[in-house]
């Protein structure tokens, strides 16, 4: 397994995902991980990530020297290269020429890291690599034992290596897809240089998790709040395989779910997989609490609190439950750890934990804690969950509650469910579903005039929203074909009663958020 020390680059998680994709287990830890913890981790290799600092500033982060004393290969990327060079006796200077974006690197010599990996060959016979650079400093004097393995015009030491100690550094970012051979370079490092096999596969991940879950919970009973979302669904499937009937899931139908969603969850888990699922029909309770409430934040709070209440009520009816299972995934763990060291910001709050009755005293079991979303999906499919469920667009916790603007009524929810269902069904039929990151309908309580047959209609409006995004922080509205939008609009107008017109949202994020509330 590999250790990645995080110096704060925006790309660090990508390094970890790429290493995992290469079939090698790795963990990401803050750069100041201490010598003893590093020794206990016993990595087969270490990667030092990039970071925003300059090695010149006083008080810049340094890897613990143990990294270079373990006798294992080390790869420094960008800032990681610079700190390695500085720590091992080289010199780093501010570059007169800052490089951001594409660059072409000439591979020099026959380093184990870059040998036979190239995008083009230069007229002198050097391998050329198209890479992504982002840095202001550059290595000026090689540390003892190192030689140059790659250069650009402005960074003569864009890649360095000490082959005997298996220390490598590159100034560019192999983890981003703009570096076309990046994955091969990382695989060369983890497979050939560190000697790690391709063992981190969905099969092995599942086997490994089953063993750990069984060891952790023994014969105890476990409770899980099943939402139908990807993470909790995969947790349910995994726990069920590990401990069978010791698992009880509680599925809260809050009346704000998509069309047929509750039945789908019950059919997949209870009927097909034989998971014990308690379905709580809490529609009235939720809609009752939301009566007369217009403010979006207020609505979110009410939905969150009511969820906790309902979940608590059900949980306290169960006897001998010792564990609460949660779908925490690795990015959540990294974010919370990061916030301790002041690097990353937001911690995802799991609203189904906070309010459990004190006397229940549940311990947490979080079997996805080490997995990235793409790994969670892959093992979900491997565990037999329908891929349609596993690759579904994200759905917000408050559900349709934030897609019905203003006060929530049952008939608006019913109208929205039908319109949304038509939109999604047509997206799937046109093979567009997987090309957009999230798509849904929104219920607008404003009324507009329409005409149906010979009758005047004065009814609410449905807005359609579809976006493309990588990280959901920024997004572009999906440029869906006009013919497609036309078809969806016609179907909604014909099939959903009491909708006067359909509009398509062409707002990016920013300035719009993805949801309307």
Subset of residues 172 to 191 that bind ligand XMP, contact rule: CB under 6 A: none
Cα–Cα distance, 106 to 128 (Å, whole number): 5
Does an H or E element contain 263, and which? helix 261-265
Between 267 and 513, CB nearer to ligand XMP? 513
- Residue numbers in the known binding site for ATP are 227-233
Strands (E), 359-481: 363-365, 438-452, 455-468, 476-477
Cα–Cα distance, 306 to 397 (Å, whole number): 12
Between 242 and 287, CB nearer to ligand XMP? 287
| CB 394 to ligand XMP: min, Å | 4
Task: Check residue 396 for interaction with ligand XMP (CB under 6 A).
Answer: yes
Interacting stretch for ligand XMP, rule CB under 6 A, among 46-54, 177-185, 489-497, 506-514?
A: 506-514
Task: Check residue 513 for interaction with ligand XMP (CB under 6 A).
Answer: yes
DSSP one-letter code for 308: H
| CB 477 to ligand XMP: min, Å | 12
What are the residue ranges of helices labelled H in 430-509?
Answer: 482-495
Active-site option among 99, 118, 175, 370 = 175
C-alpha 350: how far from chain center: 15
Q: Are 4 and 80 in contact (CB under 8 A)?
A: no
- Told to judge if 78 belongs to the known catalytic residues of this protein, a careful annotator would answer yes
What residues does 305 pair with on adjacent strands? Answer: none
Q: Are 126 and 120 in contact (CB under 8 A)?
A: no
Cα–Cα distance, 266 to 271 (Å, whole number): 7
Task: Check residue 143 for interaction with ligand XMP (CB under 6 A).
Answer: no
Q: Which of 180, 212, 276, 300 binds ligand XMP (CB under 6 A)?
A: 300
| CB 90 to ligand XMP: min, Å | 44
Task: Check residue 394 for interaction with ligand XMP (CB under 6 A).
Answer: yes
Subset of residues 437 to 476 that bind ligand XMP, contact rule: CB under 6 A: 438, 472
| CB 505 to ligand XMP: min, Å | 12
Q: Which of 398, 464, 478, 499 binds ligand XMP (CB under 6 A)?
A: 398
Token couple for 272: 């097909």
Q: Which of 243, 397, 436, 462 binds ligand XMP (CB under 6 A)?
A: 397
Residue whose C-alpha is closest to residue 247's, from 277, 210, 216: 277
What residues does 92 pair with on adjacent strands? Answer: 139
- Told to judge if 175 belongs to the known catalytic residues of this protein, a careful annotator would answer yes
> Using CB atoms within 10 A of its CB, is residue 479 exposed (0-12), middle (13-18) or buried (19+)?
exposed
Active-site option among 118, 135, 151, 173 = 173
| CB 396 to ligand XMP: min, Å | 3
Task: Check residue 399 for interaction with ligand XMP (CB under 6 A).
Answer: no
C-alpha 226: how far from chain center: 19
Active-site option among 26, 78, 249, 489 = 78
| CB 419 to ligand XMP: min, Å | 17
Between 43 and 327, CB nearer to ligand XMP? 327
Between 9 and 352, CB nearer to ligand XMP? 352
Does an H or E element contain 392, and which? none
241-261 burial, b for 16+ CB within 10 Å, e for fewer?
A: bbbeebbbbbbbbbbbbbbeb
Interacting stretch for ligand XMP, rule CB under 6 A, among 35-43, 256-264, 310-318, 394-402?
A: 394-402
Task: Check residue 349 for interaction with ligand XMP (CB under 6 A).
Answer: no
Token couple for 341: 């060291």
Task: Check residue 354 for interaction with ligand XMP (CB under 6 A).
Answer: no
Number of residues that bind ligand XMP (CB under 6 A): 11
| CB 378 to ligand XMP: min, Å | 21
Residue whose C-alpha is closest to residue 437's, from 373, 350, 353, 352: 373
Residue whose C-alpha is closest to residue 462's, from 484, 486, 480, 444: 444
Cα–Cα distance, 16 to 209 (Å, whole number): 19
Binding site for ligand XMP (CB under 6 A): 300, 394, 396-398, 438, 472, 509, 513-515
Q: Which residues are catalytic?
A: 78, 173, 175
């Amino acid at each position: 397994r590999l250790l990645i020390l995080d110096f704060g680059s925006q790309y660090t998680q990508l390094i970890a995902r790429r290493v995992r994709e290469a079939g090698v287990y790795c963990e990401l830890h803050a750069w100041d991980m201490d010598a003893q913890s590093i020794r206990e981790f016993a990595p087969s290799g270490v990667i030092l990530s990039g970071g925003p600092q300059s090695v010149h500033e006083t008080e810049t982060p340094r890897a613990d020297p143990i990294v270079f004393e373990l006798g294992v290969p080390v790869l420094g990327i960008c800032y990681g290269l610079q700190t390695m060079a500085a720590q091992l006796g080289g010199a780093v200077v501010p570059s007169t020429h800052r490089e951001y974006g594409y660059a072409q690197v000439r591979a020099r010599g026959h380093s184990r890291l870059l040998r036979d990996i190239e995008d083009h060959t230069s007229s002198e016979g050097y391998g050329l690599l198209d890479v992504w650079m982002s840095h202001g400093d550059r290595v000026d004097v090689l540390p003892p034992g190192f030689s140059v393995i790659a250069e650009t015009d402005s960074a003569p030491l864009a890649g360095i290596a000490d082959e005997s100690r298996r220390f490598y550094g590159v100034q560019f970012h192999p983890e981003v897809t703009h570096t076309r051979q990046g994955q091969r370079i990382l695989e060369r490092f983890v497979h050939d240089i560190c000697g790690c096999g391709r063992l981190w596969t969905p099969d092995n991940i599942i086997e490994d998790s089953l063993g750990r879950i069984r060891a952790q919970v023994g014969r105890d009973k476990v409770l899980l709040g099943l939402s139908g979302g990807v993470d909790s669904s995969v947790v349910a499937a995994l726990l069920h395989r590990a401990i069978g009937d010791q698992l009880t899931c509680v599925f809260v139908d809050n009346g704000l779910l998509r069309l047929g969603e509750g039945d789908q969850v019950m059919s997949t888990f209870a009927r097909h997989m034989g998971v014990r699922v308690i379905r709580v029909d809490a529609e009235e309770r939720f809609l009752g609490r939301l009566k007369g409430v217009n403010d979006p934040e207020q609505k979110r709070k009410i939905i969150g609190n009511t969820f906790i209440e309902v979940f608590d009520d059900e949980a306290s009816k169960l006897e001998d439950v010792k564990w609460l299972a949660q779908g925490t995934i690795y990015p959540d763990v990294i974010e919370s750890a990061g916030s301790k060291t002041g690097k990353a910001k937001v911690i995802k709050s799991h609203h189904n934990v906070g309010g459990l009755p004190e006397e229940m005293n549940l311990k947490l079991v979080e079997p996805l804690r080490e997995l990235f979303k793409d790994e969670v999906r892959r093992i979900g499919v491997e565990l037999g969950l329908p891929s349609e469920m596993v690759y579904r667009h994200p759905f917000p916790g408050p559900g349709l509650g934030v897609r019905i603007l203003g006060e929530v009524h049952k008939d608006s929810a019913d109208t929205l469910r039908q319109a949304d269902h038509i939109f999604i069904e047509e997206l799937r039929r046109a093979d567009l579903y997987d090309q957009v990151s999230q798509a849904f309908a929104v219920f607008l309580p404003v009324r507009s005039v329409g005409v149906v047959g010979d009758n005047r209609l004065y009814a609410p409006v449905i807005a359609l929203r579809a976006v493309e995004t990588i990280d959901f922080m920024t997004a572009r509205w999906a440029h869906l074909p006009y013919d497609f939008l036309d078809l969806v609009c016609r179907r909604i107008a014909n099939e959903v009663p009491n909708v006067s017109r359909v509009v398509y949202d062409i707002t990016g994020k920013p300035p719009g958020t993805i949801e309307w509330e």
